[in-house]
Structure 1
Amino acid sequence: MQQLIHRIWYQGHQAKWLLLPLSGVFWLISTIRRLLFSCGLKQAQVLPVPVIVVGNITAGGSGKTPTVIYLIELLRQHGYKPGVISRGYGVNIDGVVAVNPNAKANDVGDEPAMIVARTQVPMVVGAKRVSAAHTLLADFDVDVIISDDGLQHYALGRDIEIALVDGERRYGNHCLLPAGPLREGLWRLNSVDFVINNGGPAQTGEVLMALEPAPLCQVDNNLDDKFNQQHSVVAMAGIGNPQRFFNSISQLGYKVVQTVEFADHQAFDPKQLSDLSVQHSLLMTEKDAVKCRDFAQSNWWYLPVNAKLNSEFDHALLSQLQQVAQTKKGLSHGI
């Protein structure tokens, strides 16, 4: 099914014509919902601290999680105390849950587990992002909130919007879901504050981001023990764009004998992964690794990546954030 969807969205498969009526329904529902907020019939929840939303207008992976980690580190370097909220995709959460560094991915979601394991940032997940934000502010010392995804979640007031674009796949066939990958039309990018292009080539007005690989780490202990690059590997990925990962490890010189794709946020069968690694090492993404730590074997490895953006973006974001923070601080003091 995943391969068929990819062919429809990105390779011109004619089945898109059968799905276009459903895309029309999707457009109608999303337009009505958006108008309810823009006309004031529904109110977005405005929070007392700046809110940065990191999302995209397409379904599938575009590099949001590495971007969120980059922002956490950037804000900390400049004296901010960031916290993160997320939907926790792939798991059913009753109410809201605070994520701790030892949280299980099947309890809080793979992306939240990865973000907190990497950064130890205060983070709350829940189906209702507004509730998650209120809990985050009540339980932690936070002065800026980063929303991992949620560009289309208009109930959450936001001060800065960052949209990620997959530099390789772009917008596919430019159709709305389900005939294409778009959650909203391309017009939506005109209203965000920053468009970050993951992988390039960047177009006018886009900020280029690169994902730089780090040394391989073992899944069971997170140590970057020296991996013998002469060993062959089976590469697996349960992310939005598996092919990007497969291309990356091939370009890095790893000897890939087999690639295995899983659905994004999929729970893994330990026996299936064990069978894949009988004769070769198993190489996966960091996001997949957080779901495998409880049953990982010694020849399972993951590739950490770090987002890199230019100083012009850093300066522009921090300048805008400072203005928002000063405005909200003034309002809280009745100025």
Structure 2
Amino acid sequence: MRAPDFWHRPRAGIRARLLQPLGALYARATARRLAHGTPMQMDIPVVCIGNINAGGTGKTPTVIAVAEYLRDFYLEPHIVSRGYGGTLEGPVQVNPSQHTAAQVGDEPLLLAAFAEVWVAKDRAAGAKAAQAAGAQAIVLDDGFQNPALAYDLSIVVVDAQKGFGNGLCLPAGPLREPVQTGLARADLLLSIGDMAAQDKFDTSAVPAGLPHVRAHLAPLQTGMDWTDTPLLAFAGIAHPEKFFSTLRGLGATLVHAEPLEDHQPLTSALLSRLEADARAKGAQLVTTEKDAVRLPPAFRTKVITLPVRLKLEEGNALYTALKKLAEAARKT
């Protein structure tokens, strides 16, 4: 389901005002759940990567970047995910050659190319299974509003372009909890977007003293020459327009851009239509890494992917915090 436009308009909008009492109830429910939880303390570092907004903000590339940082600091990370969209309760270790996106979710399948991944609806059980299997650090993909685990470092990720929307909680706005409430529990805020988006990002609600790191997503250099390449692009991510814009920025010619719902199933009927359209237009099919893992095996050779990675400045506060965490862990 696409986010309503009024989520990103001033809160004076009539629909937002009508739904604001429900948003207040949602915020209270989140606060009550967190207050009554009993977080489990692990023997190894736990890094939580979450958000305050509902929907995609860039958590997946952040998880990849954090896992790579931890490995650079001589800690072997395992990723724990609830496996959104998957049927398995877990804890189960993701095996890309055995599991499908329908079983474990598309993001865990993608992340399994970068580290060991565990899917568990019970985050604490997933973390314990990961530690028993040799994890030296846990990277929790989502869970900032889940009280199952105690975190050594909590990172809130936000889309710099969208910001915190109209500042209201679901369903009046895009937030899972009020901005100031959520950021008061965070150790670091990571805003993702290009320079123009970062300049527009409203930091008025960011607490003084909370480290704020700016980053952007950049296409991974694969040797592919995108210049003037006719493409039929499709994407089932939170903001598919960003994927299409990236392709155009590389010089590709988009003869058609097909936005899908986030995590939308790639049915045979849909793929057959896209393939026929591409053939008729003389275009190559292209999609995101996250969508690619949901393609049927027989169809994957027909579609190319554009991988993107998180780019941060050297010596940023996230790097410093993870290095400090790793050094402390190695001393214990």
Contact map agreement 2:53 2:175 (CA 8 A) in 1: yes
Give the counterpart of 1:286 among 278, 289, 314: 289
In structure 2, do the counterparts of structure 1 residues 196 and 111 end up closer, same or farther at CA, with 3 Å as the change threshold? same
Query: For residues 180-195 of structure 1, what are the structure 2 equivalents within 5 Å?
Result: 180-187=173-180, 188-195=182-189
Calculate percent identity across the aligned residue pairs.
34
Contact map agreement 2:94 2:117 (CA 8 A) in 1: yes
Paired amino acid for 1:28:
R
- The secondary structure found in structure 1 opposite 2:84 is coil
- The secondary structure found in structure 1 opposite 2:217 is strand
Paired amino acid for 1:165:
V
Contact map agreement 2:228 2:251 (CA 8 A) in 1: no
Aligned partner of 2:206 in structure 1 is none
C-alpha distance after superposition, 1:145-178 (max 9, x if no partner) = 1001111111211110011110111111111011
Contact map agreement 1:20 1:179 (CA 8 A) in 2: yes
Gaps of 5+ in 2: 204-210
In structure 2, do the counterparts of structure 1 residues 228 and 206 end up closer, same or farther at CA, with 3 Å as the change threshold? closer
The alignment covers a number of residue pairs equal to 310
Paired amino acid for 1:122:
E
Aligned partner of 2:231 in structure 1 is 233
- Alpha-carbon RMSD across the aligned residues, in angstroms, is 2.1
Moved runs in structure 1, 4+ residues, more than 6 A? none
TM-score (norm: length of structure 2): 0.86
Aligned partner of 2:56 in structure 1 is 61
Paired amino acid for 2:287:
M
In structure 2, do the counterparts of structure 1 residues 319 and 294 end up closer, same or farther at CA, with 3 Å as the change threshold? closer
Aligned partner of 1:318 in structure 2 is 322
Aligned partner of 1:208 in structure 2 is 214
Shifted more, 317-326 versus 187-196: the winner is: 317-326
Give the counterpart of 1:128 among 122, 134, 143: 122
In structure 2, do the counterparts of structure 1 residues 80 and 277 end up closer, same or farther at CA, with 3 Å as the change threshold? same
Aligned partner of 1:332 in structure 2 is none
Contact map agreement 1:159 1:324 (CA 8 A) in 2: no
- Name the CA distance, whole Å, in 1 between partners of 2:315 and 2:268: 44
Paired amino acid for 2:147:
Y
Query: For residues 69-80 of structure 1, what are the structure 2 equivalents within 5 Å?
Result: 69-80=64-75
Query: For residues 88-237 of structure 1, what are the structure 2 equivalents within 5 Å?
Result: 88-102=83-97, 103-117=99-113, 119=114, 121-138=115-132, 140-187=133-180, 188-199=182-193, 200-201=197-198, 205-215=211-221, 226=224, 229-237=227-235
Give the counterpart of 2:254 among 253, 256, 260: 256
* Cα distance, 1:298 vs structure 2: 4.1
- Name the CA distance, whole Å, in 2 between partners of 1:43 and 1:209: 33
Aligned partner of 1:333 in structure 2 is none
- Name the CA distance, whole Å, in 2 between partners of 1:162 and 1:255: 37
TM-score (norm: length of structure 1): 0.86
Shifted more, 318-327 versus 297-306: the winner is: 318-327
